[in-house]
Amino acid sequence: GAVVSQHPSRVICKSGTSVKIECRSLDFQATTMFWYRQFPKQSLMLMATSNEGSKATYEQGVEKDKFLINHASLTLSTLTVTSAHPEDSSFYICSARQTTNEKLFFGSGTQLSVL
């Protein structure tokens, strides 16, 4: 299947710093990418939908100034957690939709720990 690369896989940072997570579709173009947050033993929680060349669409309750999303090319979307705080600690996962057949492929996830 298609490959979605996400990195870093793990990041530990101090409170108040910003963290950028990258999501790349390696062998297909993805006009739409999605960002999720997942707490232990819980399902995926959609944060935002990222469309290439336009502003992201955020789900209700997700602060767009806190979670900055950029989808500058057909193969790359980034999520920046600005001024991270301990409550932002979570597992973040991206996914990319293969437009030719509607299949959705996920990155391997990023574990963010804010101290």
Contacting residues toward another protein, per CB under 8 A: 1, 4, 6, 34, 41, 43-44, 46, 49, 91, 93, 95, 97, 101-109, 111
Q: Cβ of residue 42: shortest distance to another protein, in angstroms?
A: 8
With beta carbons less than 8 A apart as the criterion, state whether 93 and 38 touch.
yes
Nearer to another protein, 6 or 78 (CB): 6
Nearer to another protein, 44 or 115 (CB): 44
Provide the b/e sequence for 90-108 (b: ≥16 CB within 10 Å).
bbbbbbbbbeeeeeebebe
- Residue pointed to by tokens 């293969």: 98
Nearer to another protein, 31 or 82 (CB): 31
